[in-house]
């Protein structure tokens, strides 16, 4: 018996969200050696369905190693989008994240962009970006904004599928901003019991003069 379009859409939505939100690497670790990573994700003016930062526990990331997906937007019960934590400079919804992890070194492995035309994983020569998690401390690693090289381009499915014309639908970059003042104040309200007296800000050296391109649209490699 064929499912109704509405029911089929619900099943597909659940499958999509469960797959995109699944993390092999625990981000709610509560051991005595736990620390935390703080960050935010924002789409800017990019018309997208989803944007993810992918984190691994390896100093040199392994493609098949355990990963944690930090997903924009956040969801309640997988179906309804949570109220935004902030609006970025272009008025888009932004979210802050606090990842509780075992002490150790982690790296940003790649980013994932999801549009009506498909899924695109991207890594860049400037990635991986490493971060050290220390027990009882919070480390802020920045605000990451997705940007299409040409967000107003015609992103019809057949153009991507047949590889005709310019594939601007999957040509995107990621820009890093230091929004620590904004993001940490929001996180303090959301997580008042965290050790906010032990916060460090660890960004790439040149991020003090934002923005910093951490994933260039001109140097992608497929994952």
Q: In the CATH scheme, what architecture does the domain 5-222 have? A: Sandwich (2.60)
For residues 111 and 201, give the distance between their C-alpha atoms in angstroms, rounded to a whole number.
21
- Core vs surface per residue 89-121: b (16+ CB within 10 A) or e: eeebbbbbbbbbbbbeebbbbbbbbbbebeebb
What 3-state class would DSSP assign to 13?
Answer: helix
Coil vs helix vs strand at 42: strand
Please tell me the predicted confidence (pLDDT) of residue 150: 62
Domain parsing of the chain, residue ranges: 5-222
Inform me whether the pLDDT recorded for 11 exceeds 50.
no
pLDDT tens-digit profile of 152-200?
Answer: 555 554 444 445 444 555 567 888 889 999 999 999 999 998 888 889 9
pLDDT at 48: 77
> pLDDT value at position 78?
57
Higher pLDDT, 219 or 154: 154
pLDDT of residue 37: 96
C-alpha 100/C-alpha 55 separation (Å) is 13
Check whether 70 has a pLDDT greater than 90. Answer: yes
Whole-number Å distance between alpha carbons of 173 and 22: 23
Q: Which residue has the higher pLDDT, 11 or 156?
A: 156
Q: Is the pLDDT of residue 25 over 90?
A: no
Question: Is the pLDDT assigned to residue 5 strictly greater than 70?
Answer: no
> Tell me, what's the pLDDT at 96?
96
Rounded to whole angstroms, the Cα distance separating 135 from 100 reads: 10
Nearest Cα residue to 111 out of 27, 169, 35, 50: 50
187: buried, middle or exposed (CB in 10 Å: 19+, 13-18, 0-12)? buried
* Single pTM value for the model: 0.77
């Amino acid at each position: 018996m064929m499912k109704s379009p509405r029911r089929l859409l619900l099943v597909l939505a659940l499958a999509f969200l469960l797959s995109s939100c699944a993390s092999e690497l625990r981000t709610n670790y509560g051991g005595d050696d736990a620390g935390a990573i703080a960050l935010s994700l924002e789409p800017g003016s990019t018309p997208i369905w989803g944007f993810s930062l992918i984190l691994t526990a390896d100093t040199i990331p392994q493609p098949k190693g355990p990963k944690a997906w930090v997903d924009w937007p956040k969801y309640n019960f997988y179906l309804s989008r949570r109220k935004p934590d902030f609006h970025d400079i272009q008025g888009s919804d932004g979210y802050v994240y606090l990842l509780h992890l075992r002490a150790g070194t982690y790296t940003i492995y790649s980013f994932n962009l999801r549009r009506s035309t498909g899924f695109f994983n991207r890594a860049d020569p400037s990635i991986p970006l490493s971060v050290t998690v220390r027990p009882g401390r919070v480390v802020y690693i920045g605000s990451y904004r997705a940007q299409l090289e040409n967000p107003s381009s015609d992103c019809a499915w057949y153009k991507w599928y047949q590889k005709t014309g310019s594939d601007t639908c999957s040509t995107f970059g990621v820009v890093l901003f230091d929004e620590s003042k904004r993001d940490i104040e929001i996180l303090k309200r959301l997580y008042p019991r965290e050790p906010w007296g032990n916060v460090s800000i660890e960004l790439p050296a040149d991020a003090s003069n934002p923005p910093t391109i951490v994933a260039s649209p001109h140097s992608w490699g497929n994952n």
